[in-house]
Each structure stands twice: as C-alpha cells, then as structure tokens.
Amino acid sequence: MKSGEAVLLDGKGYYKRITTPEAFLDCQRHMLYNENMSLKLTENNFSGAAIGEPVYIGENVSVMSGSVIESGSVIDNNAVVKGGKVNGYVGIGSVVSERCDINSAVVCRGAVLDSGVKCGEYSVIGEKAHIASEAVIEKGVGIWSGKNVEEGARLYENVKRSSDSRLVIDENGECSLWGGEATVQKAMLFGLCAASAAKKGRSIVTAYGSDESLLLKQALDCGICQAGVNVYSIGRAGISELSYAVNRFGGEFGILIGANISGHARLISAGGMLPDEKLLDRIGSIADDRAYRSVGLSQTGCVTDFSAVREIYVAELEKILPDRFKGVNVDIRTYDVKKATLADRLFHVRNDIDGERIIFNLSADGTKVSAYSEKTSYVMWEKLVAMYAGVCFEKGLAVALPENFPSIADAAAEDHCGRLYRYENNADIAKDVAVSTHNMFAYDGLYLASAVTSYLSEQGITLQKALCDVPDAYTSSRFVGITMSRENKEKIFSELGCSAEGEITMGKTHAVIRPLRDKKGITVFAESVSCEQAAAFCEDITSRIKGIFR
C-alpha cells in the first residue's frame, strides 16, 4: 500500500460495521449463531450454571453455580461469573459478582462488578472500572476506563472522570501494591502476578524491609508458590543484600516488600539492575487482566530459607578488603543501625589510624554513597562510580550503567579501552556483566566504599590522586506531567531538536529525555560542569516542553 499499488484480499467472510455497543453485540451474536461457536461444557467448572447455547466461553473461566449465561453471550478468558445473569460480553479477567444483571451490555477487560449491579441495554463498563454493590447503570450509559462507581449509585449519564487503580511499576522497579492501605491479600496477589510472569519451576528471591511487613512477606511467598515458582527467602534485608542474593543464587529476580508500612514493593535483577522492561510490563498486564497462573498442589513452589545470605554477603565484602589498610582511615555514616554495625565490623579493625581520613555517607536505601576528605571536600556518587569503573576497565572487566548516568563514565571507558554498557530498563543488554559481582559497586553503596578503600590502600594513593583524572559532572532532573503517547513523544523530540533517543547537547551540557513507564509523564536528566548550568538547562527544556502543549 505504501507503494501505491492496489491490494486485494480474497477469502471467506463478511463485512459488518461496528460503531456502537448495539452493533458490537449484534455482530457477536451473528458470529455465534452462524459459526456455531458453542460451549463445550465441563462438569468441574460449570456445575449448577444455566447456559443457553450458543455461547462462547474462553480459557480459565470460572462460572459458579446459580449463574445464568444467556444465548449469544461471550465470556472471555480468565473471567469470573459468581452467580449473576449475563446477556452480552464479559471481557478478559473481568469479575461479575452474585445477583448482577447484565442486559445486552458490554463489560470490558479487567472490570469488576460487585454484587447486585445492574447494567442496562447497550451500556458499557470500561476497562478496569469498578462498580460497587447495587449500582444501576442505565441504558446506553458508558463508564470510562478505570472509573469507580459508588455503592447504590444510579447513573443516567456517562462517567468519564479518571480514577486509576492499576498496578504500575515505575522506573525504579517500585510499586505501591495497587495504592491505599497494604493488605495481606494485596501482597499475595502481587506475588501471584510476579510469579505468573516467570517460568514455572524457576526461583524468585524475596526479602522484607521492616518488622511490620513480615506478614506481607509471608503472603507474598504464598502467592509466588501458588504460581509454581520457588522462593529463596533471605528474611529481613536491604536492597544491597537482595541484589547480591539474586546474583549469587541465579534467581529470576528479587522482590523487597514492605520497606515501609505503606506496603511498597521493589523488584530488582542481578547486579542491582532493574528486571527486563518486558517482564515488568507482563506483570502489570497479568495484574490488569487477572490472568494469574495457578498450579495443583503437587506443582506448587517451595520456600527455602536463605537468611544466611547476609553473612555470605559480608564475607564477599571482607574478601575484597585487605587485612589491614595502608594510608587509609575510613568512617561510614548511615542512619541504618545494622549497616552501621556492619561497617564498624568491616572497617574499624582494618583502619590505619595515621592514614588519610575519609568519611563515606550512605544513602537511605544503601544503593549510593558519597565521600568526604579534607583535600577533596565532598565527592558525589557519580564521580566515585566513574573512578572505580576506570579501575574495572584496567582489569579488563565490563561495566553496565543506566542511560542517564553522566558521560564521565564514557570518558573513562575511552581512556582505558573499556567495555561500557548502557541500558534502558533492560537487563538483557548487560547480561554478561549482571552476573559478575564486580558490577555491584554501581548499585551498592557499601560495596563501592569497600572497593574504593581497597583500591586506595592497594595503590598507596590518596582519594584526591585517584580522582584527579575524573572530570566533574553535576546532574539535575525534572519531572513533567504529560500524557506520553507516541505522537506526543515524536512532537517533543522534533520541537526540541532531540536525537531519536531523546538526547540534547549544548556546549558542555547534555540532557536526556525519558518517558515514564506509566506514560503519564517524562523525566528530564541534565548534566554539566556545574550544578547551576545543569539545573538551568533542565528548567529551560521543561519550560519548552510545557510550551509545546499550551
């Protein structure tokens, strides 16, 4: 068609125009009656249900006793009908509760109808909408995607105002278990979603971040096992220990749940990197469609206690440290009492009291660290990572870093002819380095502090000397709330003069524009030789993006 040539498709079939819910249901009935797509009943699933053929019922559908499925209806994959009457279409993963009455209506994928809901002729319940008990949707009324309708409401007009209740995993691999208060049920369903996206028989490493979240962790493990996936449980731990455990035991990925009482969960892959973006999308899709995988008792996964991994992790850190430091006197500052105790165990007995005084400050989650000495003043995480990446390049080791990491790492790779991998939420690109513990310095603050200290002691040099060839790089970032459709993305990149990858360079200042995974915003990352220039470039790009859509 692009070349202008005519195209003719010759085959059996017919044409039918579908522009309304009425036309959609009419076409559905027409196909059922003419193509004889009748249901093959199974006693296990549909005992006690009244089903008038022809109907079509998809895979993994549950139709409970007392349900009435009238002729001409379609119940799509993974849907649940708990005892209501259905005349129309029920989409993938939808739930129709007891006493519901769907009268020639369309229920789109992932919608939930609580008990006693009535849907009038040619009404439409949008994707992932939630209709509370005893609500009445009158004839021809449309409920837009993601809507919540209150209990007992009677609706005569369309409901378009948005209310999002989807499971969204963000750029850092974090999600809030569908928002709201954390519950055991939500934790179990999250485990079921995550494990359903993994292969049966494989393993997921799990940990919990606070004593209050122990019950959430146990529910998470149950959900994972229910999908036929094994659990390597490392107990209470931080993101650093979890990352190491995934590396060590070859798990599909790791989940840290309940790092705070609000019930957040975080997913992580080997080497501290995010799981593959396709995997994250699949987990979200499974949650939306309720397309959970469930196996029989003989195939359920098992939970193995690997809480001793914390001591193995400590042993790994001790292995990279010399018996005694030469010319280095280190102090680790952190709000985490356990991390502080561990740091004291690792560094205090090795310190050279007369050596250079270096203070490392760990971030709250333990993934980053900055350094301070009298000669260098404060040294940010990015500069420490770039310096040690150069050490790895000298040893012939490859390194993987995020796309938005400053270009000083590229300069180090060029100087040492090193292999530097950039990745965009895709662990596959850095697969050959993700399984090597040397890459953990970029995602584990304590590991980086240990590696830098060991290098300084081994070489007999000061921190200032080690950093002398690493240029300064200051970064800044801004969030812009905007719907990032493909058309909007192309428009922004075109107006700003970006590359196809969303990169802009102006003199010594460089910026990267990255759409968020939920498509509801973008993040602008800028780096320059000064924090003022980076921030100013960020502000300028943000202002220009907002101006495009005014």
Residue 224 or 395, more confident? 224
Q: Please identify which residue in the block is written with the tokens 């970064």.
A: 475
* pLDDT range class, residue 410, cuts 50, 70, 90: confident
Mean of all residue pLDDT scores within the chain = 85
Residue 519 or 391, more confident? 391
Q: Is the pLDDT of residue 431 over 60?
A: no
User: What average pLDDT does range 48-75 have in this prediction?
Assistant: 89
Q: What one-character DSSP code corresponds to residue 439?
A: G
Q: Distances in Å between the alpha carbon of 541 and those of 240, 451, 486?
A: 34, 37, 19
Residue 406 is predicted with a pLDDT of 84
Residue 69 is predicted with a pLDDT of 93
Residue 263 is predicted with a pLDDT of 61
What percent of the residues of the chain are helix, what percent strand, and what percent coil, each to the nearest 5? 35, 25, 45
Structure tokens at 185: 């049920």
Output phi, psi for 381, to 5 deg. Answer: -55, -45
Look at the pTM and tell me if it is higher than 0.85. Answer: no
Task: Report the C-alpha gap between 155 and 161 in whole angstroms.
Answer: 14
Q: What one-character DSSP code corresponds to residue 109?
A: T
CB 385, CB 399: distance < 8 Å: no
Parallel, antiparallel, or unpaired: how do β-strands 124-125 and 101-107 relate?
Answer: parallel
Output phi, psi for 521, to 5 deg. Answer: 175, 175
pLDDT tens column, 333-344 = 998 888 899 999
Residue 253 or 4, more confident? 253
Peptide bond into 54 cis (omega under 30): yes
pLDDT tens column, 169-179 = 877 788 877 66
Residue 162 is predicted with a pLDDT of 46
Residue among 283, 298, 287 nearest 228 (CA) = 298
Start-end of H helices in 174-308? 184-196, 214-226, 239-249, 277-289
Residue 438 is predicted with a pLDDT of 63
